[in-house]
Amino acid sequence: MGGMKQEIAGFLRYLEVERGVSPNTLAAYRNDLAQMEEYLEERLRKDGQVPAWSRVGREFLQQYILELRARAYSEATRARKIAAARSFFRFLLQEGKRQENPAESLSSPRVGRPLPRVISVAEARRLLEQAAQSAGPEGLRDWAMLELLYASGMRVSELVSLDLEDVNPQEGYVRCLGKGSQERVIPIHPKACGTLEDYLREGRAQLQPSLGEKALFLNRRGQRLTRQGFWQILKEHAKKAGLGRVTPHTLRHSFATHLLSGGADLRSVQELLGHRHISTTQVYTHLTREQVHEVYDRTHPRAR
């Protein structure tokens, strides 16, 4: 597999494992990025350059957009393909393979943006209560992981990257390294601290950590749990709890939405999530406004 195609394959694995995108969405990304790669590889060769994503600048992407328009794609399709390009280059930036995102400022047709899916507070409680019933060291680990993820809003990549020294349940905080190597310290509530202490006291040692293994969460071989491993664990517990599709990012979205619904200010939620721009966090205000309208319509005597 060529270099440019290899980077796309890595991005698709990230979408499947960490973001938990549906098979249909994954197929759309695969097709859109393959089309972009084919066009850009040809353009780079015509310019006498060895094809590589590091050589793709904004001007090449603008030419690609013009090509999409010339092929008479609909506005919605063009917007989707541009969004795929932005996400892909953002991934390369996150992985340290680009210094900037040449697709970030590309103009895109205005179409409705789907809001992230969240689960209710009751559903989150049901998921955690189900995990609490799991037996053995793996059960303690699963419960601690889910409690910690919902308590902190961390990305799954941040969760599985945690080392023993990164958590302090006695003081009630976790330290994680986010995008762009930015460290943030997140407070965690007593319930999550308690489950974490139970796992550290009774569960982790029974998973027989490999010699010198510093990872907080271990698989059954005593090594660091992977994103794929966590994704499978979450799917299993969500199914047992009678919930629909729940991804690691669903818990992150739910964490943010539930905080805002409870009165947290937007800037604090931005800090907790590790968003660089507050505009990224603002999508959750739309979710809470929808909930307010739903409650109003259901409870106001003149609205019924």
From 97, 126, 235, 249, the catalytic residue: 249
Backbone angles phi, psi at 109, to 5 degrees: -55, 140
Q: Are 186 and 158 in contact (CB under 8 A)?
A: no
Residues 6+ apart with CB under 8 A from 258: 118, 121, 124
From 5, 175, 240, 275, the catalytic residue: 275
Pick the closest to residue 155 from 184, 127, 128, 131 (CA basis). 184
- Is 73 noted as a catalytic residue in this protein? no
From 29, 64, 199, 284, the catalytic residue: 284
From 19, 86, 237, 252, the catalytic residue: 252
- Is 284 noted as a catalytic residue in this protein? yes
Kind of pairing, strands 167-168 and 183-187? unpaired
Q: Write the DSSP assignment of 100-166 as a string of letters.
A: S-TTTT------PPPPPP---HHHHHHHHHHHHT--HHHHHHHHHHHHHHHHH---HHHHHT-BGGG
Query: Which structure tokens are listed for 2?
Result: 């060529």
From 55, 179, 184, 240, the catalytic residue: 179
Pick the closest to residue 243 from 299, 251, 201 (CA basis). 251
Cβ neighbours around 205 below 10 Å, total: 13
From 78, 141, 155, 224, the catalytic residue: 155
Pick the closest to residue 86 from 13, 162, 33, 149 (CA basis). 33
Cα distance between residue 113 and residue 38, in whole Å? 27
Rounded alpha-carbon distances, angstroms, from residue 266 to 203, 270, 271: 36, 6, 9
- Is 249 noted as a catalytic residue in this protein? yes
Catalytic residues: 155, 179, 249, 252, 275, 284
